[in-house]
A and B are shown apart, each in its own frame.
Chain A
Amino acid sequence: MAGMSRYIIARSIQTIITLLIILTLIFIMFESLPTKPQDLLAINPNILPSQRDAMEQLFGFDRPVTERYLLFMKNMLTFDFGISFSSAESVWSLLEERIPRTMLLFGLSTILAYLIGIYLGALIAWRRGGVMDGGAVVLSLTFYNMPSFWIGLIFLVVFASELQWFPLTGWYDPTDQIPLFEVGSIGYKIVDIAWHLTMPLVVLLLLQLAGTILLMRTAMLDIIGENYMITAKAIGLPERKVLFKHGARNAMLPVVTSFIIAIVFAVGGAVVLENVFSFPGMGALYIRSLLQLDFPVAEATLYIITLMVLIGNFVADLIYGYLDPRVRM
């Protein structure tokens, strides 16, 4: 493909620069926090000033800013996150079990939302003007503007609390009773996790679906008016083929663009929903570490989240570049 390698290189450079800028931003933000972790720990009046100084040294706050900055950059880029201030475990061990959980949640929901959304959006646009079109648009608009945590809470009340179809919290609970599977077996684990994951997934899915359907519908409506679509129909191609092979494929372009934005919002949504559903993922860790002023954990979590977003963007850019040759110029 023409210009693909150049395109990839340009995008890679852009991603790396963005990453460095964001890291610097993170560093500056944490530097501007007025309270330092040793202040939190020194609230106990029994701590002697010499112990407080020792803590300051331990946390590295007695060194000049520039030295800390370089150390920070080096550590972040080599994934050396150090030890959590609040729980004295290595940060990486805290993260390594949570990253796959959050990725599972919002990765799955984003992919599903896009697959379903593209299909539905195209379908609805094709039958424009009908009741289904109007209804779908109204529903999508409503869900699009809903705060995610609110709909999450409602789901909790209805499905978990009242109907008791799904559990209230968490991830994997060996005390659950699941028929057919033994506790601890792989099958049990999969079913249990799936059962716990369902509600946050559905909520996240609904919200992302709303945006996707709206976007796909708009893009599709644009395309439908184009000449080549009329031609295809006039030739006598089967309707399905016209719809999907000619129409949707072109309409997908702006949708893929919005995939980039969707990842960004999905991360934000995941953070909030993890709070509501007590889901032990990265978002929950992030908020907890912010409230505890646990610098290493907060910085590392933010970094990983940003990294995931940037990589997602990069991949989306690549796909877009593959689909639309015009971009590669």
Chain B
Amino acid sequence: MTEEEKSATAKAGKGGDAELELSLQSRKFFRKLLRSLKATWKLYRSSKSGLAGLAIVFGFFFVAAFAPFISPYDPDFKAPSEDIFIADSASMDLALERNWSMPLGLTEAARERQLQRILVYSPEGEAKIFPVHDENGIVISVPLYGNVPVNTTYLNYVHFYTTFFVIVTQVDGVDMLLEYDYNLIPNQLYPEWEIPFTPKYFSNLWNAYSIVLTDGRMAFVMADDHSIWLIDKRPPNPVDNMVRTYTDTITIPETIIGNPIVLDGFFRNGSMIIIPTDVGVIAYNLNVSAGAVTGYVNDVSIGNRAWLANYSVEGEPFVPVAETSDVITLHYPYDAADEYTKLHVWVASEDGRIIAFDRKTGNLTFAKPLVMPAIRDFEIQALYPSPRVVLVVGTSGDRGFMAGIDPRNGTIGYSNNQYTSFTGHVNSKPQYVPGQKYYLFSTQEDVYLLDELLKVNATFRAPGGGAVTPVAFVGNIFVSSIITGNYFALVTNDNDLFVESLHGRNVAPLPPGTYASGNHYILGTDYEGHDILAWLIYGTRAELMVGVTAAFFAVVIGTIVGLVAGFYSGLIDDLLMRTTDVVLSLPGLVILLLFAAVFGPSLLNIIIIIAILSWAGIARVIRSVTMSIKERAFVDAAIIAGASDSRLIFRHIAPNVLPYAFLYMTFNISGAIVTEAVLAFLGFGDVNYVTWGMMLQYLQISGHALDAPWWLLPPGVAITLLSLAFYLIGRAFDEVVNPRLRKR
């Protein structure tokens, strides 16, 4: 003992300064600790593999800590579209600078919208029709010339057997409805009808197709502020082989504010015309009378008013959203089985509610506030019908959103998950691309594709520096009955008609290299365009956290169990050891999967589960170590001195057990890292965090496992390396703790 210590103990023994005794004890403790650490290090560093392991682990910790500085991109980064998408596209210079309309695709309905022509027009008096065809990609040909007078509006129409389209225009001051053949055969006499007013509103145009009817039939409704006009052109019936047209007009006192909708897309008894006015939504019955014997229709007319639904909910008025002329949309069926879609008329209110009226009676069915968990302040722009959901389009600050409402209950579909937000505001009518089952729309700068869950499937910048017109789905291209491209079109800033395909555009995952945008992807990208190196670096954080935390918990539990079992022996020991044996003999991974399936794959759950299944091995070892320590002399001495049980355990035995605990913790970290990777790979990982196991899972799921070695190798190498490093540390430390392992 040093002089200092002697005097201090003497003082303490006299019942002197208690503080002094404590600080003396702690100083002794720290000195002892420092000494044992130094001795440990001396022994440890003789193992080359141990040093290597330690270096690697430090390396990973460094990477994890400084990830934002080391990583070339942040984890949300996605390669821009010019790198990822090889599009099948074509463009045609429109020559004249005009306010071009959104392109209309003229297609055959019979063959899943086989694209034949694309029509663009401008109110200044230009119209162009371009034939398109497929020649290993879409080709736009020189515009057809023909006698198409031009004016304010066009409707297009599709017919089953021949292709024709209709336009609404003014000829010599008279509003006319004209019908044209696609080929614009010159000098042909085309049918025409006079419209009693200048129409402002047109019946539901969805995907730029109006009501698709069969057998040469054409039918729709137009309106201006107070008048509604109906036309129904019927194909020749076999009796007299004559085409018949029925028209009807009514005038209503209310002011019409939006497009009329024809229920079910059919003109028949029981159908209705539903029209939004300033007072409310009004429904008119349609009367179709037919000959009793032949069944052939001999008159179609607008009948009486069926109902009027005021803009009010339980007496409280609401203001309908009226940014565009689509105040209401009718969810008409995409296919006959779509029962739910026929039932309601939908309106959005300015205060963010979705309101549905029963279409037969006009009664309010429900008025539900639009609630999107991740979007707080928003404004609804418009509602659009689509197969199986009602689409809500709106804005939230600078961003836009789209949500899908389940028509059965007026709330967001797919367990409150069917919505997404994006930069920019929607400026086109979202169109549903059949067959491919996604939604297409544009914002001022980008074009988006959403899948059926309304999650972003693909997105890219509008070509040519931006879009002048909204994007439109124009049709499909076939090669021997197989759809090879779904094409959409828009007019770009440099006055080009730009047509691009939605098919096979994604060329990600990209191998390492430099790409069109000038970005370097040192390890390439994955299927969505994430940089592999960036994910590798950021994944280090989650890996280290899961590994160390899970191992730590496992060791804590195992040490406590081992200590208690080893110390108390007898019944407690037996019980604890039996439990340990049971846990040890469980097939770990299999049970792990079950746990993950039940409790959900969050990172915390994974840590807990790994810990619960790993503590048993440590418990065994700690128990045997405890038992052997218990036999040692110093423990007997402490017992004689009157130490209590807990003091014995914690102050005397535990410090000697700790090295073993630490030793097994390193092995456990090693195992936990691999286990987490396996869990993630099988699909039970946490999608909110980037981990190396998730990278491999995405690889497997995207189907690129066999052709993207730059994606396959790095995560696996990282897992192996980190796990190996901890294992090496453990092995080297093992030699320190178990002297008999040395010098072999």
Binding site for B on A (CB under 8 A): 14, 17-18, 21-22, 25-26, 29-30, 32-33, 45, 128, 141-142, 144-151, 153-154, 156-157, 161, 221, 260-261, 264-265, 267-269, 271-272, 275-276, 286-287, 290-291, 298, 302, 305-306, 309-310, 313
Contacts and interface: CB of A to CB of B under 8 A. Distances in A.
Contacts of B221: none
B720 A302 contact: no
A147 B709 CA distance: 16
Interface string B668-680: 0010001001100
A286 B587 CA distance: 13
A74 B592 CA distance: 25
A291 B716 contact: no
Contact of A21 (B582, B595, B682, B700): B582
Given A128-B744, A147-B719, A150-B696, A272 B682 contact: yes
Contacts of A141: 724, 727-728
A267 B590 contact: yes
B706 interface: yes
A193 to B, nearest CB: 23
A149 B590 contact: no
B507 interface: no
Contact of A290 (B586, B597, B677, B723): B597
A45 B408 contact: yes
Interface residues of B, number: 45
Given A144-B727, A264-B585, 16 more contacts: A17-B582, A18-B582, A29-B595, A45-B408, A145-B674, A149-B678, A153-B699, A153-B716, A268-B592, A272-B678, A286-B593, A290-B594, A290-B597, A291-B683, A302-B591, A309-B585
Interface in B566-595: 578, 581-582, 584-595
Nearest to A267: B587
Contacts of B593: 271, 286-287, 290
Contacts of A142: 720, 724
Given A32-B598, A144-B727, A18 B590 contact: no
Contacts of A287: 593, 682-683
A290 B591 CA distance: 11
B723 A264 contact: no
Contacts of A151: 716
A64 B408 CA distance: 33
Contacts of A154: 712-713, 716
B664 interface: no
Interface in B687-720: 693, 696, 699-700, 705-707, 709, 712-713, 715-716, 719-720
10 contacts: A21-B582, A45-B340, A147-B674, A148-B678, A150-B712, A161-B707, A267-B589, A268-B587, A271-B589, A313-B585
Given A33-B598, A145-B720, A153-B705, A264 B588 contact: yes
B712 A272 contact: no
Contacts of A264: 585-588
Contacts of B696: 147, 149-150, 153
Nearest to B692: A147
Contacts of A26: 594
Contact of A29 (B581, B598, B683): B598
A128 B674 CA distance: 29
A313 to B, nearest CB: 6
Q: What DSSP secondary structure best describes chain B's contact surface?
A: helix
A57 to B, nearest CB: 24
Contacts of A268: 587-590, 592, 678
B681 interface: yes
Nearest to A290: B597
A156 to B, nearest CB: 6
Nearest to B712: A153
Interface of B: 340, 408, 578, 581-582, 584-595, 597-598, 670, 674, 677-678, 681-683, 693, 696, 699-700, 705-707, 709, 712-713, 715-716, 719-720, 723-724, 727-728, 744
B616 to A, nearest CB: 11
Nearest to A168: B706
A327 to B, nearest CB: 14
A17 B574 CA distance: 14
A70 to B, nearest CB: 21
Contacts of A29: 594-595, 598
B670 A305 contact: no
A147 B721 CA distance: 11
Nearest to B696: A150
Nearest to A146: B720
B296 to A, nearest CB: 36
B727 A147 contact: no
Nearest to B409: A45
B408 to A, nearest CB: 6
Contact of A22 (B586, B592, B709): B586
Nearest to B590: A305
B719 A150 contact: yes
Contacts of B712: 150, 153-154, 157
A217 to B, nearest CB: 10
Contacts of B591: 25, 302
Contact of A147 (B586, B595, B677): B677
A253 to B, nearest CB: 16
A306 B674 contact: no
A306 B670 CA distance: 25
Contacts of A17: 578, 582
B548 to A, nearest CB: 16
Contacts of B693: 147
A146 B705 contact: no
A302 B590 contact: yes
Contacts of B700: 153, 276
A305 B587 contact: yes
A151 B598 CA distance: 29
Contacts of A298: 594
A230 to B, nearest CB: 15
A265 B588 contact: yes
B521 to A, nearest CB: 20
A45 B715 CA distance: 43
Contacts of B340: 45
Contacts of B581: 14, 18
Contacts of A149: 678, 681, 696
A147 B744 CA distance: 29
A145 B547 CA distance: 14
Contacts of B744: 128, 221
A21 B581 CA distance: 12
B727 A306 contact: no
A45 to B, nearest CB: 6
Counting chain A CB atoms within 10 Å of each CB, the highest count among B581, B590, B594 belongs to B590
A310 B589 contact: no
**Top 3 closest A-B pairs, CB basis?**
A268-B589, A150-B716, A145-B723
A17 B591 CA distance: 18
A192 B740 CA distance: 50
B492 to A, nearest CB: 42
B706 A309 contact: no
A144 to B, nearest CB: 7
A261 B683 CA distance: 25
B585 A310 contact: yes
Contacts of B681: 147, 149, 272, 275
A189 B719 CA distance: 38
B719 A157 contact: no
Contacts of B728: 141
A309 B587 contact: yes
A276 B728 CA distance: 29
